[in-house]
């Protein structure tokens, strides 16, 4: 039975086992090796899921194998965290096979982003589980340097609120409607939020702060996704919008992705804050999703309650 009570898993502690899973696209072992090194340095015990390196075309193994790895992690009392290796594509294909009873019985930290937004939306629908939107275990120091590692560590292993400030270097920095809003932070990757319209996993965004970010989507496609959300009524009653990184989102037209975001979000009548280093870009920071957030578009900050307790 789903209730409005939010499930916050225990914060990870040194000595805890975390399982590395690949619910979406195939991953690269050399990048995961760097992630294992990082997690081990935090005192955690990373363990590869049985099919973490499987490959089935553009998927990290068949649907059955990917779902089995997730369900095994959720059911194992020794596993205290589930860290996705990467996104890609495929999580939506398996979310209906997840053992939500196991998730509710023993909630644990789930971290990832990009296509993992589909998994996080499903866990929110099925268990009201607060999760962590941050880098996966397939780590690259060039894109996710020390500040990215410190941000993920804080979100997984401390119970402090997370504050992210807008930075002028981000392309979406000019996207702003001043004001202050408080609500539950929901969303993540814009493609996956839009792809959830009409499914059980599309969250009710009434009173929520919507987080959006994306990668390699030209401005007209970003326009199309936001227009779909508007026409579906999904943005009605929003409290505010937190705009993260829109990385490599350019084409040959003079209209920029920032122009599109400003136009399609700027007339909603709610505070909008762009320039947040959350998403696919260099210096990606981590934020909880599913918990209360304060978006201060005037001051340029997003503060989010921890996903863990």
Which residue bears the tokens 């870009």? 281
* CATH 3.50.30.60 given to domain 162-304: yes
Name the average pLDDT for the chain: 97
In the predicted model, what is the mean pLDDT of residues 8-35?
98
Residue-by-residue DSSP string for 13-58? -TT-EEEEE-SSS---HHHHHHHHHHHHHTT-EEEE-TTTT--BTT
| Per-residue pLDDT tens over the stretch 254-271 | 999 999 999 999 999 999
Beta bridge partners of 293: 183, 304
| Per-residue pLDDT tens over the stretch 190-233 | 999 999 999 999 999 999 999 999 999 999 999 999 999 999 99
pLDDT in the model for residue 2: 34
Strand-by-strand arrangement of the 45-48 sheet:
45-48, 17-21, 79-84, 109-112, 131-133, 287-289
Calculate the alpha carbon distances from 42 to 100, 141, 152, 156 in Å.
Answer: 29, 16, 11, 10
Helix (H, G, I), strand (E, B) or coil at 236: coil
| Per-residue pLDDT tens over the stretch 133-163 | 999 999 999 999 999 999 999 999 999 999 9
User: What are the residue numbers of the active site?
Assistant: 114, 213, 280
Domains in the chain: boundaries: 17-143, 162-304
Q: 49 pLDDT exceeds 70?
A: yes
How far is Cα 45 from Cα 62, in angstroms, rounded to an integer?
26
pTM for the structure as a whole: 0.97
In degrees and rounded to multiples of 5, residue 84 shows phi and psi of -75, 140
How far is Cα 268 from Cα 19, in angstroms, rounded to an integer?
41
pLDDT in the model for residue 5: 87
* CATH 3.40.50.300 given to domain 17-143: no
Helix (H, G, I), strand (E, B) or coil at 273: strand
| Per-residue pLDDT tens over the stretch 162-188 | 999 999 999 999 999 999 999 999 999
Per-residue confidence band for 4, with pLDDT thresholds at 50, 70 and 90: low
CB-hemisphere CA count at 13 Å for 243? 30
Q: 1 pLDDT exceeds 90?
A: no
Question: Is 106 exposed, middle or buried, given 0-12, 13-18 or 19+ CB atoms closer than 10 A?
Answer: middle
Per-residue confidence band for 3, with pLDDT thresholds at 50, 70 and 90: very low
Residue pair 91/24 in contact (Cβ under 8 Å)? The answer is yes
| Per-residue pLDDT tens over the stretch 280-294 | 999 999 999 999 999
How far is Cα 41 from Cα 139, in angstroms, rounded to an integer?
14
Q: 27 pLDDT exceeds 50?
A: yes
pLDDT in the model for residue 257: 98
| Per-residue pLDDT tens over the stretch 70-81 | 999 999 999 999
């Amino acid at each position: 039975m789903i209730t409005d009570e939010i499930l916050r898993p225990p914060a990870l502690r040194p000595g805890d086992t975390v399982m590395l899973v690949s619910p979406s696209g195939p991953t690269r072992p050399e990048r995961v090796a760097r992630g294992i090194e990082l997690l081990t340095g935090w005192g955690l015990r990373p363990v590869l899921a049985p099919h973490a390196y499987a490959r089935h075309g553009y998927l990290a193994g068949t649907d059955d194998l990917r779902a089995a790895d997730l369900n095994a992690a959720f059911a194992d009392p020794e596993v205290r965290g589930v860290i996705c290796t990467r996104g890609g594509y495929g999580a939506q294909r398996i979310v209906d096979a997840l053992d939500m009873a196991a998730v509710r019985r023993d909630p644990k930290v789930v971290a990832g982003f990009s296509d993992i937004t589909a998994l996080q939306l499903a866990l929110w629908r099925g268990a009201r589980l607060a999760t962590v939107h941050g880098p996966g275990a397939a780590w690259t120091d060039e894109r996710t340097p020390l500040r990215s590692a410190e941000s993920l560590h804080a979100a997984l292993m401390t119970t402090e609120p997370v504050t992210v400030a807008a930075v002028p270097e981000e392309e979406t920095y000019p996207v702003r409607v001043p004001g202050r809003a408080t609500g539950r932070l929901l969303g993540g990757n814009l493609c996956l939020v839009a792809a959830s319209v009409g499914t059980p996993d599309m969250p009710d965004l009434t009173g929520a702060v919507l987080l959006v970010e994306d990668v390699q989507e030209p401005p007209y496609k970003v326009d199309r996704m936001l227009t779909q959300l508007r026409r579906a009524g999904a943005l009605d009653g929003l409290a505010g919008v937190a705009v993260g990184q829109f990385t490599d989102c350019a084409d040959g037209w003079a209209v920029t992705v920032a122009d599109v975001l400003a136009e399609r979000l700027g007339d909603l009548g709610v505070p909008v804050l762009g320039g947040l280093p959350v998403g696919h870009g260099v210096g990606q920071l981590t934020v909880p999703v599913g918990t209360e957030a304060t978006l201060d578009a005037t001051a340029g900050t997003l503060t989010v309650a921890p996903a863990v307790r």
